[in-house]
Structure 1
């Protein structure tokens, strides 16, 4: 992907896509049991990070940009709840949910321009800000996940 070609919006979208790939890639070559391992006191696990990323997609694009109702979208109020894994959460199901959330986000974003304004915490932000926030958030979480996955792989015999 040529991030330096095509202007600002192409660069922002391209960088977000790279971060989405990094988030999805956290689960590569991990088993379902490994993906659920908690190596830190928080609820952070590789599988939980990808589940949280689906929430982040929905809260920013479907809710804030798209105007969808949080409850109708199934968005919990507490961020910690977005990391909690249920018994039915598997690598396959969480990855599919993340892919669906990303696809919906792309569709919503395509209907808006970079300077369009949205409300966030009683402030006004642009779609440009949303892209930058998402890139930052996903880069941070991908880094967390990379460290966890490295620790998990190091535990293998």
Structure 2
């Protein structure tokens, strides 16, 4: 993966209904927008330290995850840059938060933190055995994907403008 690519990372467990929201959002983005250039899609499952290499190697990072937002089920919140860092540093809000914050800390310590980064969190309704998300989360996928596309377009424009100004 080249440094100008955007890494789209979906995390979650698709065997536990809404816990798989991040993976469902990743798949939804990939199927709805297959022609956006310079995207790299990774199903991060329930996270692993092996993902640190991917995070360190990108300029732009978008993470989809089921996140405890203390909002109605299906609410989508976007945390960009320092907002993402601060959100991950607060009390436990995601089943994967410890792993995600650890991965971000590794990137920070190695001075490879993605320049542009965002967490798109979806408030789960239920996390019980089942491979389909609840209606609230299913209905939130379009909004989550729309937010991701806005960020991708904004970041690709910034990266293109920087390339033009340096030539």
Which has the larger share of strand? Answer: 2
TM (norm. structure 1) is: 0.36
TM-score scaled by length of structure 2: 0.34
